[in-house]
Amino acid sequence: MLSQLRSLWEVLKHTFVKADTIEYPEQRRELFPRYRGRIILTRDPDGEERCVACNLCAVVCPPDCIALQKTEDENGRWYPEFFRINFSRCILCGLCEEACPTHAIQLTPDFDMGEYDRQNMVYEKQHLLIDGTGKYHDYNFYRIAGMAIGGKTKGQAENEKPPVDVKTLLP
């Protein structure tokens, strides 16, 4: 009983405590780089598209709001032919970023994405792709993956031996 009265009193005391509310949009607070806001597609340190169209972000997305299609350039490098996020469905959970093996898809601290027309919430690749590396500066998936792409043949990835010569009998 006493504790109930005490609660009442403690709560009442807050009448004289200043509110913590930050009055967005007049006031804005500094957000951490890992804040989960608007999603971007980044480029690798060489300026190429990072996304390899593996579809992992799409499959992990709880509201299924990512759709893309894989295609290849003439040298066998995978990239998305189209990449679409329906932000009117996105719950900004960040699972896509966690699933992405290439650091291509990243969430940013920009969250004011309100639109009067819902159709404008549909972002295509040209709206998503930025010119930089985003939060992760050095990673380049294709430098590690053992796949030949333009400018890199077999054996030139990190930690690779040159291709085997099958015709040799030497051990």
Partner 1 sequence: MKPALGDATDIIGILASVIIVAAMLIWVERRLLALWQDRLGPNRVGPLGLMQVMADMIKMFFKEDWIPPFADRWVFVLAPCIVFITMLTGFAVIPFAPGVGIIDFNFGLLYFLALTSLSVYSIVLAGYASNNKYALLGGLRGAAQTVSYEVFMGISIMGVVMLSGSFNLREIVEAQRDGWFIGPQFLGFLIFLIAVVAESRRAPLDLPEAEQELVAGFHTEYSGMKFGMFFVGEYLGITLSSAIIVTLFFGGWLGPWLPPLVWFCLKTAIGIIFFILLRGALPRPRYDQLMTFGWKFLLPAGLLNLLATGAVVLALHG
Partner 2 sequence: MARIEIDGELHTVQDGNNLLSTCLSLGLDLPYFCWHPALGSAGACRQCAILQYRDADDQQGHLVMACMTPVQDGMRIALTAQQARQFRRDNIELLMTNHPHYCPVCEEGGECHLQDMTLLTGHTMRRFRGQKRTHDNQYLGPFINHEMNRCIACYRCVRFYNDYAGSDDLQVFGIHNNVYFGRFEDGALQSEFSGNLVEVCPTGVFTDKTFSAHYARKWDLQTAPSVCVHCSLGCNVAPGERYGELRRIVNRYHGEVNGYLLCDRGRFGYDFVNSPKRIRKLHIAGQASCSVTMATDKFHTMLQAADGVIGIASPRASLEANFALRALVGEDNFFLGLDDSEHTLLNAIHEVMRDGGIHSPSLQEIEQADAILILGEDVTHSAPRMALSLRQAARNAAFALASKLHIQPWQDAAVRELRKQAPTPVFIASICSTRLDDIATNTWHGGPEDLARLGFAIAHNLNDAAPLPAALNEDQQALAANIARALRQAQRPLIVSGTSCSSLAVIQAAYNIARALPESAPQLAFTLPECNSLGMAIMGGKPLQQAFAAMNQGLADSVVILENDIYRRASTQQVDAFLETARHVVVIDSLQNNTTEKAALLLATATFAESEGTLVNNEGRAQRYFPVYPVTDPVRASWQWLLSVMTDSPWAHHDDLTSACAGAFPELATIVAAAPGADYTVEGCKIPRQPQRYSGRTAMHANIAVSEPGQPSDQETPFTFSMEGTTAKVPPAVLPVIWAPGWDSNQAINKFQEETGGSLRAGDPGIRLFEASGTQSWFNDIPPAFQAQPGVWKVIMLPHIFGSEELSLQSPAIAERCPAVCALLHPLDAETLAISDCDTVAIRDPSGTLIMNMPIRIEKTLPPGLLGLATGRPELQPLQSGMLVCLHKSDPLATDVSEERS
Binding positions for partner 1, rule: CB under 8 A:
4, 7-8, 10-12, 14-15, 17-21, 23
To the nearest whole angstrom, how small is the minimum distance from the Cβ of residue 1 to partner 2? 53
Among the residue ranges 21-29, 38-46, 55-63, 127-135, the one whose residues contact partner 2 (CB under 8 A): 55-63
Strand, helix or coil for residue 1? coil
CB count in 10 Å sphere of residue 151? 11
Residue 31 binding result from partner 1, ligand SF4, partner 2, none, given CB thresholds of 5 to 8 Å by partner type? none
To the nearest whole angstrom, how small is the minimum distance from the Cβ of residue 1 to ligand SF4? 57
Nearest to 96 by CA among 59, 54, 70, 129: 59
Phi, psi (deg, nearest 5) at residue 70: -75, 145
Asked if 40 is part of the footprint of ligand SF4 (rule: CB under 6 A), the reply reads no
Residue type present at position 133 = T
DSSP 119: G
In contact, 158 and 146? CB cutoff 8 Å: no
Residue 14 binding result from partner 2, ligand SF4, partner 1, none, given CB thresholds of 5 to 8 Å by partner type? partner 1
In contact, 124 and 110? CB cutoff 8 Å: no
| The one among 53, 107, 128, 129 contacting ligand SF4 by CB under 6 A | 53
Q: Which of residues 144-163 bind ligand SF4 (CB under 6 A)?
A: none
Given the complex with partner 2, which of 45 and 95 has the nearer CB atom?
95
Given the complex with partner 2, which of 1 and 164 has the nearer CB atom?
164
Among the residue ranges 7-15, 50-58, 114-122, 149-157, the one whose residues contact ligand SF4 (CB under 6 A): 50-58
**What span, in angstroms and rounded, lies between the C-alpha atoms of 54 and 102?**
10
In contact, 135 and 106? CB cutoff 8 Å: yes
